[in-house]
Chain A
Amino acid sequence: MPGTIAPPDIELIVENRRVGGGGGRPPDGGDGGDDDYGRRGRGESPSPRRFSTGIAIGMVSILMFFMALASAFLVLRHNSGVWVTVRLPWILWVNTAVLLGSSLILERARLRLSHRDVSGFRKLWMVTTVLGFLFVAGQLVAWRQLVTQGVYIASNQASSFFYIFTGAHGVHLLGGVAALLFVLLHNFEKSQVSVSLAAEITSYYWHFMDGLWIFLFVLLYLGK
């Protein structure tokens, strides 16, 4: 549009034609606080907030995936007259403790980071990563224990669900371990994301994996 100055009456008409209530305000940013985005210049990357939003939406999606499996479990458990129970290996309790511990230590690591103690952060973060690997190893031991009992994935429906739940959770958790390693090894100097943001986003996912495991464990325990 050519740069003609509009007299006030035109502005009035435009005001009246506005449909949305939020449209009346001057362009001072979107509902979600778009201010930092609006000011960025040409060629700059968009707001790093997209990573936290992305992980939040991704977690809902993963939750839905496990809910579908859980409801299949409940439906089959309810309908089946020949439900053979699986004796859950004792090491699952140890694994649960390991995972809970890793979440706690991860939070302590982030606390160190907020106190600008980078070496302390890295040390504790490494402990979290090791605990993550330990958990995965522990789950494999649990599978091993079941196999020595002669319980395989195809043995019965309960065992199928046990292997599917632990397997799917394990794969998702390995994603979390990869994120932990990324935060540990990536050079954030020239990155558009700060280490604290990366740690924060990883922590969301890690705690989510933690909570998801508790849910699945309770489900398997009560449904056995």
Chain B
Amino acid sequence: MVTYDSGANQPDTPQGRFTSRRLFAADHKTIGLRYLWLALFSVFLGMAMSLVMRIHLVWPGVHISFLSVLGSTPERYATLPLLHGSLMVFLVLTTAPQAGFGNYFLPLQIGAREMAFPTLNLFSFWATVVSLLGMTAAFVLAPQTGITLWIASVSVFCAAALCTAINFAVTTIDLRAQGMTLPRLPLTVWAWFINAILGMLIFSILLAACLCLLSDRFFSTHFFSAVDFLASQPANTAPDALPVLWQRLFWFFAQAEVYIAMLPCFGIVSHLIATFSRKPIWKERLVVLALCGVGLVGFCVWGQHMFSSGLSPFSPLVFSVLASSLGLPAAILLISWFGALWGARIQFNTSFLFALGFISLFLSGGLSGIFLARSDIASASVTEDFVTGHFHLIMGVAATFAILGGLFFWFPKLFGRRMNELLGKIHFWLTFAGVYCVFMTMHWLGLVSHSAKNPGASLTAAAGWIVPARSFITAGILITVLAQGIFLFNFLWSLFRGERVEECNPWRATTLEWSVASPPPQDDFGAHEPVVYRGAYEFGLHGVAEDFIPQDVAPDRVVKAN
């Protein structure tokens, strides 16, 4: 699966053994594609996990032969969400939009021929594969060994993510083509760049935390020991506050990880909306600032936790204010997207539908996030279902929609064929309806079960609906997962039988990757050195032959309208 490669990306020279030619090809396009394959594999594995979890929740007695072999202990069940979460967060949401699309299209969009450090890139990729294997193997091992292996795999993933982040940042800073000034960078590149900076900071922290944890397990040190903490605390300390240092270190990472997954998606969605609404990005500079704001606040949300030793009474307030202040860049992004859509002659294809779906999910998920940003509500009312619903909508599903939008958009460039539009649209609507049924019901379930625990609350009457709601969620998941079968079929069928794309620029887009053949040749731009003359979103122009001008068209070569 991993070794797949579209033929055009292979070196022309046949010399070299299979292993060095195939497995150790450091070409940015090959590596980008492999990351996408890795993410595709992981997303289906992760979805299977979620299905098994729901089946366990709704029909606890059901016998699943594969899992029964491993033993039906509570620890075994606990490894299910662990593996589901780590596959989805690390191998899909972190990997696909950044390392997958980024590796393939960042050099193409800025007019570079390669990433800054191709060998380092290759190392990152294989380290990611190793971490995937480790995490998956952790599931079938005995719990204690499995956890150790899982922590080690996460450490390996952190190292890979750090190398990728350094590569992305340096490529953007130093390898831009002539004329590709910062204001002319496409928003996708901005997002990848800011994301790389953020990733470089937070994956170091997770790596440090994981190494301390491994040291606790291997050398019996006491970094996260409950005993030491207990000795220094008053007797009435809540028992769930015990591994507080680990929780903090982990959440420093995990809170920012949400933005790691979302930032490239913001970039991709902005890019898609500009291209398909045929309008320039509304307030492009402000959007770039908003992306920087997401990165900065995303970093500070835990940053203030980090340097305050002990829980100061102001700390929840500061945290709350910071988390709420994320609403500002989010609002700027939303306004910019709506501004672009306003009065636009929109091309409603699958890619654009997924971008719209992203906005919808981002909005709904973001609104429920406002509840969670208030520290008093968060501590009191949030039962697991509400949080699960919230972060799946905003982080998991929204990001997946952006990834799918990007895939439909770039598929012609990646493989020289189009994906089927009809199948794509059926897949979109089924998925869109499915995820809303699942995760909105979860929100509701969270509020209701909270009320059920607090007598006197007005929603107690609805408590009778909890069990049917759980079954409804499971049925919804089943349908959503089945709908992904349509996507998988469409993807594989289009790969071999899809409508061929002969032209370089089927979407009439402006950025540099559309100036080369589809799929791009091995040396990207060939003998021709790209030179950039204008911004990335020159759409909706009057007086020129078409309504857009690509970035590499010199002013004296612009074709005038008849």
Contact = CB atoms under 8 A, between A and B. Distances in A.
A54 to B, nearest CB: 5
Contacts of A21: 183
A192 B228 CA distance: 54
A38 B221 contact: no
B200 to A, nearest CB: 5
Nearest to A81: B232
Interface string B530-556: 011111011001111000011001011
A74 B433 CA distance: 49
A33 to B, nearest CB: 10
A25 interface: yes
Most buried by A among B173, B211, B252, B556: B173
Interface in A60-76: 60-62, 64-66, 68-69, 71-72, 74-76
Contact of A22 (B182, B219, B223, B229): B182
Interface string A5-38: 1110111011001111111011111111011011
Interface in B294-321: 306-307, 309-310
B223 A6 contact: no
A46 B112 CA distance: 8
Contacts of B117: 50, 54
A160 B221 contact: yes
Interface stretch (A94-102, A109-117, A122-130, A151-159): A151-159
B301 to A, nearest CB: 15
Interface stretch (B70-78, B162-170, B424-432): B162-170
A3 interface: yes
Interface in B136-179: 162, 165-166, 169-171, 173-179
B208 interface: yes
Given A10-B560, A30-B182, A46-B116, A57 B543 contact: no
Contacts of B116: 46, 50, 53-54
A61 B201 contact: yes
Contacts of B173: 32, 53
A61 B162 contact: yes
Given A27-B532, A54-B166, A61-B204, A14 B232 contact: no
B170 A53 contact: yes
Nearest to A49: B174
A191 interface: no
A7 B183 CA distance: 26
A81 to B, nearest CB: 4
Given A54-B117, A160-B215, A20 B178 contact: no
A14 B541 contact: yes
Interface in A189-211: none
B201 A60 contact: yes
Nearest to B306: A71
Contact of A58 (B166, B182, B231, B560): B166
B201 to A, nearest CB: 5
B184 interface: yes
B90 to A, nearest CB: 18
B384 interface: no
Nearest to A42: B527
Contact of B205 (A6, A17, A65, A160): A65
A31 B229 CA distance: 51
A39 B534 CA distance: 19
Contact of A13 (B170, B201, B544): B544
B309 A75 contact: yes
B181 A25 contact: yes
Contacts of A79: 229, 232-233, 309-310
B27 to A, nearest CB: 14
A4 interface: yes
B403 interface: no
Contacts of B535: 17-20, 23
A6 B529 contact: no
Interface string B209-223: 101100100011111
A72 B249 contact: yes
Most buried by B among A27, A53, A164: A27
Contacts of A82: 228, 231-232
Interface in B476-520: none
B176 A37 contact: yes
Interface stretch (B6-14, B279-287, B337-345): B279-287
Contact of B204 (A20, A53, A68): A68
A71 to B, nearest CB: 5
A80 B176 CA distance: 51
A1 B207 CA distance: 49
Contacts of A35: 178
B284 A34 contact: no
A66 B207 CA distance: 10
B170 A54 contact: yes
Contact of A14 (B211, B285, B558): B558
A150 interface: no
A19 B245 contact: no
B205 A157 contact: no
Contacts of B166: 54, 57-58, 61
A119 interface: no
Nearest to B185: A20
A32 B307 CA distance: 34
Contacts of A4: 557-560
A64 B165 CA distance: 14
Contact of A57 (B169, B531, B558, B559): B169
Contacts of B180: 30, 34
B271 interface: no
Contacts of A17: 280, 535, 538, 541
Most buried by A among B178, B307, B542: B178
A25 to B, nearest CB: 7
Contact of B174 (A5, A10, A50, A74): A50
A34 B232 contact: no
A75 B228 CA distance: 12
Given A34-B180, A38-B178, A46-B116, A19 B557 contact: no
A153 B179 CA distance: 55
B229 to A, nearest CB: 7
Interface in B243-257: 245, 248-249, 252
Given A42-B527, A78-B310, A50 B170 contact: yes
B114 interface: yes
B421 interface: no
14 contacts: A13-B541, A19-B281, A20-B284, A22-B181, A28-B179, A30-B182, A38-B177, A42-B523, A54-B166, A61-B200, A66-B208, A156-B222, A157-B223, A160-B215
Interface of A: 1-7, 9-11, 13-14, 17-23, 25-32, 34-35, 37-43, 46-47, 49-50, 53-54, 57-58, 60-62, 64-66, 68-69, 71-72, 74-76, 78-82, 153-154, 156-157, 160, 164, 168
Top 3 A-B pairs ranked by shortest CB distance?
A20-B183, A27-B179, A38-B178
Given A50-B170, A68-B249, 7 more contacts: A1-B557, A19-B535, A54-B166, A60-B201, A62-B204, A68-B306, A79-B233
